[in-house]
Amino acid sequence: MRFSTLIWTVGLGAAILCQAAPTKRNNGGQNKGTTTYADCQRPKPQGQQLSSCPNGTVYVSQTDPQSSFGSIHDAVLSLPDDDSQQWILVGEGNYHEVVNVTRRGPLTIMGMTEDPQDYKKNLVKLWYSSFINQTTQTSSQDNADAVVLTVSPNRAASLIGVGPAGAPLQPEFGNVDFRLYNVDVANRATVNGKEFPGQTGPSAALLVAYANASTYGSTFASYQDTLFCGRNGSLFAYGGEVKGGTDFLYGFGTAWFEGVTMANRECRGAITAWKGSSFLYGPDTFGVYQSNGWVVRADDALPDVDLTGSCALGRPWNNASRSIYKNTYMSEVVLPAGFIEWQSTEPRLVPNLTFFGEYGSYGPGYKPDQRNQTVGALLTEEEANQYTVEKVFGGMPSWIDLGTATIK
C-alpha cells in the first residue's frame, strides 16, 4: 500500500548503493569479473606488497616490519586534511580499534585478499566492543558513540539524536568519496567482559553521515542497528553481507544495497527501520533499497533459536519511511506478512507517505497470498522501474567504482 501526508518527519540525504550479484547465489554474492584494485590487494612477498598499488599508498600491517603503521586508525590520522586522493592498503589481521574518517578528500581503504570477489575469503577484520545501554543512557550519550567505522566530518554530524527529526542539521560535509574494499567490520558488544550473542543496545559497525561512501565485498556485523546511513550521507554497498537482529539497517537518508546478503541472527524489530522527509530536507531521495540480494538466517545464529517465518522486511522509523526490495531471495526466515507497523500502539503508517514495496521476490519466504498489503505493496514492473540507482541518485554517482561494481 502507498502511504503520504506528514506527521513524523525526518532527515534526508544519505544514499547507500550496493551492486548487484547474480540471481543465483555464488562466489560470496559477487559476479566473477575484474576488480579495480585486485592486483594491489593480493598478498605478495615481503618488500613487494605495494607493487601494483597506486603511488603513495600507505601500508598498514601488524606483522610486516616494512609497513608504515600497525593500525588503520593511525594510518588515517596521518593523511593530510585536504582534498587530495589517498589510498590505504591493510594487511591480513585482526584490528581491534575504532576508525573515524573526517577528511574531505577521497580515501580508499583496501583489505588484503587473494580473491576480492569473494567476501568469504576476506583477510582483514576490523572490530571493537561497544554499545549504548538504553536503560541507563544519559542525555550526553548518542548511538554514534558506539560505532566501529565512522565516515563523517565530526561528532555533531554523526549524531543520530532522538524523536521524529533526530539531531539538528549540520553545515559541514565530510568525505566526498570514501571507498572500502574487502574488510569485515564488526561490533562485538561485550557484557561482563564476554562477547554477548544477542541484543544489548545500539552497536553499529558502520556509520555514514554528511559524506559519500561505497563498499565492495565488505561485511558488517552486530546485533542491533548494525549499519546507519545518516543525513546527507550516501552509501553504496556492492556484494558482501550485513548481519543483525534488530533494525539492522537504519537511517535518515537513501541506501541502495545490490547483491548483498542480509543475514538474520535474530528477528526483532525488522531488517530495515527508516526515516524520511522531503518536506524538511529537500529533494525526495530518501529510502532504503535492496536489489538482487538475499535474506537468510545468519550462519552464527544460535542453533536453538527458530527464526522460521519471524523476520519482518521493514518497519517505519517515522511515517515518511520508504523501503523497497527488488528481485530478492526470501528464505524461510522471512515473515509471511512481509512489512510491519512500528508497533500496535503507534503504527506510523500514513497513506501516500509511508511506502513499502517488493517486486520479483522469490524463494520459500515469499508468500504473496499472505503479504499484508495494507502495509506493503506488491509492485508492478512499471512501478519497480521507478527505483533504480540512476533515478534514486539523479544520475550515476561519480563516487561509485564501476570498474568493480556491475549495476543491473
Query: What does residue 287 show for φ and ψ, rounded to 5 degrees?
Result: 130, 165
DSSP letters for 175-234: -S-EEEESEEEEE--EETTEE-SS--S--EEEEE-SEEEEEES-EEE-SBS-EEE-TTEE
Do 360 and 368 touch, CB atoms closer than 8 A?
no
Q: Which residues contact 41 (CB under 8 A, 6 or more apart)?
A: 89, 110, 111, 112, 113, 116, 181, 182
Do 127 and 96 touch, CB atoms closer than 8 A?
yes
Give this prediction's pTM: 0.90
Task: State how beta strands 58-60 and 86-90 pair.
Answer: parallel
Task: Give domain status of residue 311, yes or no.
Answer: yes
Task: Give domain status of residue 407, yes or no.
Answer: no
Do 210 and 232 touch, CB atoms closer than 8 A?
yes
Domain residues for 75?
3-393
Query: How far is 250 from 231, CA to CA, in rounded Å?
Result: 11
Task: Give domain status of residue 402, yes or no.
Answer: no
Please name which of 364, 381, 292 lies closest in space to residue 328, comparing C-alpha atoms: 292
pLDDT per residue rounded down to tens, the chain (408 residues):
433 332 232 332 333 333 333 333 334 445 555 689 999 999 999 999 999 999 999 999 999 999 999 999 999 999 999 999 999 999 999 999 999 999 999 999 999 999 999 999 999 999 999 888 777 888 889 999 999 999 999 999 999 998 877 888 899 999 999 999 999 999 998 888 888 888 888 899 999 999 999 999 999 999 999 999 998 888 999 999 999 999 999 998 888 999 999 999 999 999 999 998 665 555 666 889 999 999 999 999 999 999 999 999 999 999 999 999 999 999 999 999 999 999 999 999 999 899 999 999 999 999 999 999 999 999 999 999 999 999 888 789 999 999 999 998
Would you state the pLDDT for residue 28? Answer: 45
Q: Which residues contact 360 (CB under 8 A, 6 or more apart)?
A: 326, 327, 328, 384
- Number of other residues whose CB lies within 10 A of the CB of residue 123: 19
Taking CA atoms, 42 is separated from 90, 182, 218, in Å, by: 11, 11, 16
321 alpha-carbon distance from chain centroid:
17
Task: Give domain status of residue 11, yes or no.
Answer: yes
DSSP H helices, 261-335, are: 278-281
Task: Give domain status of residue 22, yes or no.
Answer: yes
Q: Could you tell me the CATH number of the domain that includes residue 181? A: 2.160.20.10
Task: Give domain status of residue 177, yes or no.
Answer: yes
Task: Give domain status of residue 186, yes or no.
Answer: yes
H or E element, residue 237: strand 233-238
Q: Which of the 8 DSSP states describes residue 271?
A: S
Q: Return the half-sphere exposure (C-beta side, CA atoms, 13 A cut-off) of residue 147.
A: 24
Would you state the pLDDT for residue 5? Answer: 30
Q: In the numeric block, which cell numbers belong to residue 330? A: 526470501
Q: How many structural domains are present in the chain? A: 1
Task: Give domain status of residue 80, yes or no.
Answer: yes
